[in-house]
């Protein structure tokens, strides 16, 4: 079917594991990286906390109800970045074809590897062992002939898992896979899938390409291929930054015009700083609003001029804000991002799966 050998490495409970590694008093205890105040969210949860149902992106108040003994630890992003760099040094001993998805996970193409190891599973096992011995952390790994299956394999036996999906096993494996486990099928899409009678890999494979495109657009082609074990995307050693953004969550919901404009100004200023530090230039501005009931909307505008000055971004942000009815729907969060760099449009590349490089202004959301 293919001669490629792809590994997906995913650090287990990365932020929380680093905190437990560096502080012996936290080991074996339920901890959450994030802030515990009313508007805080869990950025990462230890496996001890997960047994209570605590998950990342969960509101802190809900997490504390599920686990009264939950210990909140402020995030140390500089430390996590340094540990991520050390992990990648290990990766580079085997291949330079590495595609990072975030600080704690990456794809590796080891079809031709530096050590001449024949089996990709042996490379994955060695990488896991070195991460444990050299960094005192635990990783899970998935091995297969494409990115889609390698990613799913790495999630199969967490924590400290190692799973290989061989080409001869792929179709049977996919057939029994719940539709929610397919990469890119979130809650909204899975609900639509269920309404169409699509519940697993088998029922997805029974759908025609025309039917999937009619209901899911271009993504329908991806789902059609995935159901057949097809994913031709290469492991990209260099990922193009597609956007820069920031957002802030308020301690209290706001609905007064003056308050909203003031907060929008602060977010726009923060965005400008991030654009300058990353030397990023784009021509699409997106406003993100999360209301008091957690309903979320986005509004975007694209112009030919690059958005690199506050007196360009702020008026456009205010223009987008006029499209939002917040008088009767108090605002919980405001975010702004600039995207679509003119120099690197890269349209269609990786399609649905292109990673957006958002950097958030704080841990609370």
Helix (H), strand (E) at residue 78: helix 77-92
158 has pLDDT over 50: yes
Q: Edge-to-edge, what's the strand order for the sheet holding 331-339?
A: 243-254, 331-339, 284-291, 296-302
Q: List the catalytic residues.
A: 105
Per-residue pLDDT tens digits for 278-313 = 888 899 999 999 998 888 899 999 988 888 889 999
Return the CATH number at 216. 1.10.150.20
* 346/355 Cα distance (integer angstroms): 13
- pLDDT band at 344, cuts 50/70/90? very low
Residue 231's Cβ-side half-sphere holds a number of Cα atoms within 13 Å equal to 30
Torsion of CA 230, 234, 236, 239, to 10 degrees: -50
Do both 221 and 281 map to the same domain?
no
Do both 282 and 335 map to the same domain?
yes
Work out the mean pLDDT of the chain and round it to a whole number.
Answer: 88
Q: How many residues are present in the chain?
A: 365
Q: Is residue 250 part of a domain?
A: yes
Do both 289 and 348 map to the same domain?
yes
Q: Is residue 5 part of a domain?
A: no
* Structural domain span for residue 205: 170-226
Return the CATH number at 253. 3.30.1490.100
- pLDDT band at 358, cuts 50/70/90? very low
How many structural domains comprise the chain?
2
- pLDDT band at 40, cuts 50/70/90? confident
- pLDDT band at 277, cuts 50/70/90? confident
Per-residue pLDDT tens digits for 114-151 = 999 999 999 999 999 999 999 999 999 999 999 999 99
357 has pLDDT over 50: no
Q: Report the predicted TM-score, pTM, of the whole model to 2 decimal places.
A: 0.72
Q: Is residue 175 part of a domain?
A: yes
């Amino acid at each position: 079917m293919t001669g490629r050998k792809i590994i997906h490495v995913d650090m287990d409970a990365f932020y929380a594991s680093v905190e437990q590694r560096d502080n012996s008093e936290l080991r074996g205890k339920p901890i959450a990286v994030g802030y515990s105040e009313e508007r805080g969210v869990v950025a990462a949860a230890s496996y001890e906390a997960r047994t209570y149902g605590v998950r990342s992106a969960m509101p802190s108040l809900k997490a504390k109800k599920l686990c009264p003994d939950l210990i909140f630890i402020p995030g140390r992003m500089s430390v996590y970045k340094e540990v991520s760099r050390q992990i990648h040094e290990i990766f580079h001993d085997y291949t330079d074809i590495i595609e990072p998805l975030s600080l704690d996970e990456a794809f590796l193409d080891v079809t031709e590897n530096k050590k001449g190891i024949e089996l990709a599973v042996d490379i994955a096992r060695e990488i896991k062992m070195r991460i444990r011995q050299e960094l005192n952390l635990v990783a899970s790994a998935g091995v297969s002939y494409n990115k889609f299956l390698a990613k799913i394999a790495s999630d199969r036996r967490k924590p400290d898992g190692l799973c290989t999906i061989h080409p001869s096993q792929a179709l049977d494996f996919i057939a029994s896979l719940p539709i929610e486990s397919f990469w890119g099928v979130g809650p909204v899409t899975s609900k639509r899938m269920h309404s169409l009678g699509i519940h697993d890999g088998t029922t997805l494979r029974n759908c025609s390409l025309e039917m999937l495109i009619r209901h899911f657009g271009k993504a329908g082609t991806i789902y059609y291929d995935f159901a057949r074990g097809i994913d031709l995307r290469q492991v990209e050693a260099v990922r193009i930054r597609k956007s820069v953004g920031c957002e802030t969550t308020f301690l209290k919901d706001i609905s007064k015009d003056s308050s909203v404009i003031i907060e929008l100004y602060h977010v726009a200023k923060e965005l400008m700083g991030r654009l300058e530090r990353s030397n990023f230039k784009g021509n699409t501005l997106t406003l993100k609003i999360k209301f008091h009931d957690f309903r979320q909307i986005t509004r975007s505008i694209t112009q030919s001029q690059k958005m690199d000055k506050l007196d360009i971004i702020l008026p456009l942000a205010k223009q987008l804000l006029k499209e939002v009815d917040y008088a009767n729907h108090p605002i919980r969060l405001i975010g702004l991002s600039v995207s679509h760099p003119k120099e690197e449009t890269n349209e269609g590349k990786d399609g649905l799966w292109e990673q957006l490089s958002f950097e958030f202004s704080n841990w609370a959301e």
